[in-house]
Chain A
Amino acid sequence: MRRSLAVALLCALALSGAALAGNGGIAPVEPASPNAERINDSYFWVAIFTGAIFLLVQGSLLWFIFRYRRGRRDRTQEGAQVHGNVKLELAWTVLPVLILVAIGSFVFYKLPGIQDVPSAGAQGGRVDVQVRGYRYYWNFRYPNGVIAVDNLRAPVGQTVRLEITAPTFDVIHSWWVPALGGKFDAIPGKTNVTWFNAKAPGTYRGQCAEFCGIQHAAMKAQVEAMPREDFETWLDDEARAQEAGTSELGKETFDGVCAKCHGLAGEGDIGPRLSGNRLLEDAKAVEVIVRNGVGAMPPVAKDWDERQLKALTDYLREKVANGG
């Protein structure tokens, strides 16, 4: 008994070791933020127990199948007429309860580190970003008013607090970048808060996790983590550029918002061809369409700032309407 227990434990350890080292999908993706790390810790903790139970059940199943196979015995030959054993049955009722207590306690122990957003006064400060899910793009807004689409730039080593929601005229989406933590739904009329603190520079990819319609699969997002100084410089520069109307926001908006249905070059896909459409030079007409939607097209820009709308109409006039 003790030996099989030791074997089971060893196997569970080996499994978690393999998972830690390689990860071909044995565990959640390599975490790059403390909250994601703590989720992974919980995952491995649960895996130890479930791994042991797995081995116990499958092992005894195979053992019994082999050991008590019929062999040359006839169907009329009875097996042992055992009707039960109260002590045994109590044991396999109580033992799982203890295991579940161990799992539940560990989860609650880890929970604050996963869920609670570090305070703004803590070391390094904090960046608060609003995240809004639309069909089929993510709109971000920084405290200084800078707007971004689908690509969230973030500082390394600093807490980023996300306020996630969706406009009331839209549907439910779900914000998820696996390396930076769990997913939270972007729900019309409700705001969810989560956070991350990227350990290293890099691009962390994710995509909408709540089925949101025809282009759900195209609703991708990424977090571009960069050194803090670079981030702050970018944020200041971008704020100035967006105020002056010289930023790349128009292209970013076109790629994130329009291209998902009208094609990357505006060549037409679910929606009609945009490239070379002279009507797009009329900013007023474009505004009516993107603010209200038309036919199957949702009102993608209903609650946008003037700034983002102007960036888009400028881009459409200069780069798309003439077929460029």
Chain B
Amino acid sequence: MAVNAEPPVPAWQRGRVASWLVTVDHKRIGILYIVTSGLFFLAGGLMAVLMRTQLAQANGDFLTRDSYNEVMTMHGTTMIFLVVVPILAGFGNFLVPLMIGARDMAFPRLNAFSYWLFLFGGIVLLLSFFAKGGAAKSGWTAYPPLSLVQSGNGQDLWILALHILTISSLAGAINFIVTIHNLRTEGMSWTRMPLFIWSIGTYAVLLVAVLPALSAGLTLLLLDRNAGTHFFNPDENGSAILYQHVFWFFGHPEVYIMILPVFGMISEIIPVFARKPIFGYRAVAFSTAGIAFFSMLVWAHHMFAVGMPSFLNGFFMISSMVIAVPTGVKIFNWLATLWRGNIHFDTPMLFALGFLSVFTIGGLSGIFLAAFPIDWQVHDTYYVVAHFHYVLFGGSMLGIFAGLYYWWPKMFGRLLDERLGKLSFWLIFIGFNVTFFPQHMLGLLGMPRRIYTYSEGGLWEAYNLISSIGSYVMGAGILVLLVNIVRARKGPRAGNDPWLADTLEWYTTSPPPPHNFDSVPYVASARPLYDLRRRLKERGVL
């Protein structure tokens, strides 16, 4: 069906650079997203190492107070808005049309528009370090009144950058929704879609549902700062709490926006390397939708310490605990997928198994946080920092690395080196746990988050030093990953399907041609390539 009838391309668009600048090919846009987010990841990681160096010892003076607060704010903002969300958009862009057997995204130009807005939003954000008064320094949450009293232009640029990124994400999300709803190949019903498609579809719906709340809140904040309004200014009878509700109505679903597509990746990778079908396809797919729905009902669990009435605290505790149920279903189903498998420990699988182990820890510490009296002790401490890094680094990033190693051969037609891959996994996995596990203890011992220094004495010093050392180990793991990527240009050719996988993207060549497929097999199950191999075997071809 897919007809190879490319429109003629003008000569000036064929150059090596120009062809990337004008591209509307979803695969190239996906790669642009991933490379750009990867660079932002290095920037955000550098900021993290700066912070850990400052905190390695008591009374550290590696960073000044102001620069610590800027770096702390920008690390969070960068990792969330410039790394995890867009890199998932990148994987989605590359994979969605290939996995559903389509020619491209539904709106290729809108797709390019999303990418370029993302790039410019990122540049605005990072360049705000050079603004008058430096970058924003009121945390990635930018709570007023603090964000109202910060002088300089950093906070305003922060708001504007987020506005740009929001528009980018919205356009991208609409594109995903339309693509998934309309461009699936013949035979691919909802319950035959790859689970990654389920998760990207849910990611997109969530983005459309909650990003407008962020935009609204940020607009009011911008007006308060620059136009003399006082929505959030208590000195003029505004409400400081209102912003928190608006922000977290976006902010908590954002957490699931950053993890659901990774769940999708894990649901693709574990079965392939266990040589089994996913255990309970429907449960995994529907729990994705369930998590997304409940994620919009839990926001005020970030606000247990503001003093809400007990019935509200109770409501948000129960809703937060309810969300643990579909998440648990996923974890148990992934475990069951390993059961009686033929488990191959290639690098993607190592990262996926690492994900399973540490994400569980992040989920369990979340139950303590959901029980609001316990939250009164651990809220805004390093316990929370540990928790969300177990979810966002241990969860999202390990999953993203798994996905990177898994789909790299499809993207570039070359295999990454397995020995370097395993080395990078162990460095990252061990470094991660050494960095973040002691932070649980720090929080329980009373160390608040977002402090630029602390005094001598007690266990704070020991745990902080251990944590900083872990961050360097993790950094070394990332460097090994980079070396692997650079060397992969000369790696062995991958072939169409190096992992003997089950989904359509492995049917075409690596890298795929511009039009993706010459023909797409009819999809009769969630594992079209498995079916194909079986049919060929029956006919004695394979």
Contact = CB atoms under 8 A, between A and B. Distances in A.
A244 interface: no
Contacts of B357: 58, 61
A25 B448 contact: no
Interface in B121-163: 137-139, 143, 145-146, 149, 151
Contacts, number: 263
B500 A185 contact: no
Interface in B322-369: 322, 324-325, 328-329, 331-333, 335-336, 338-345, 353, 356-357, 360-361, 364-365, 367-368
A144 interface: no
B280 to A, nearest CB: 4
Contacts of B379: 182-183, 209
Contacts of B378: 28
A154 to B, nearest CB: 18
Nearest to B441: A25
Contacts of A157: none
A39 B376 CA distance: 9
Interface stretch (B106-114, B220-228, B234-242): B234-242
B381 interface: yes
A61 B376 contact: no
Contact of B325 (A84, A100, A176): A100
A106 to B, nearest CB: 9
B325 A296 contact: no
Contact of B339 (A64, A110, A213): A64
A100 B321 contact: yes
Given A79-B341, A84-B283, A89-B280, A42 B234 contact: no
Contacts of B69: 213-214
Interface stretch (A2-10, A70-78, A235-243, A275-283): A70-78
A28 B445 CA distance: 6
A198 interface: no
A273 interface: no
Given A65-B338, A70-B344, A79-B342, A24 B145 contact: no
Given A29-B446, A61-B338, A79 B305 contact: no
B341 A80 contact: yes
A83 B47 CA distance: 45
Contacts of A174: 305, 380
Interface in A152-191: 168-172, 174, 176, 178, 181-185, 187-190
Interface string A16-31: 0000000011111100
Contacts of B20: none
Interface string B200-228: 00000000000000000000000000000
Given A84-B279, A104-B321, A184-B305, A68 B274 contact: yes
Given A81-B276, A107-B317, A114-B373, 12 more contacts: A39-B374, A42-B373, A43-B374, A73-B342, A80-B339, A85-B279, A178-B445, A193-B307, A209-B305, A213-B138, A216-B450, A216-B451
25 contacts: A25-B459, A27-B444, A39-B374, A39-B376, A46-B374, A54-B361, A58-B357, A68-B343, A69-B343, A70-B343, A75-B275, A85-B280, A89-B329, A89-B332, A93-B325, A103-B321, A104-B317, A107-B372, A115-B373, A170-B145, A182-B377, A187-B306, A210-B380, A211-B139, A298-B149
Q: Which 10 A-B pairs have CB atoms at the shortest separation, nearest pair first?
A: A182-B376, A25-B441, A79-B341, A217-B451, A189-B234, A84-B280, A192-B307, A188-B234, A80-B340, A79-B276
Interface of A: 24-29, 36, 38-39, 42-43, 46-47, 49-50, 53-54, 57-58, 60-61, 64-65, 68-70, 73, 75-85, 88-89, 92-93, 96-97, 100, 103-104, 107-108, 110-111, 114-115, 168-172, 174, 176, 178, 181-185, 187-190, 192-193, 205-217, 270, 296, 298
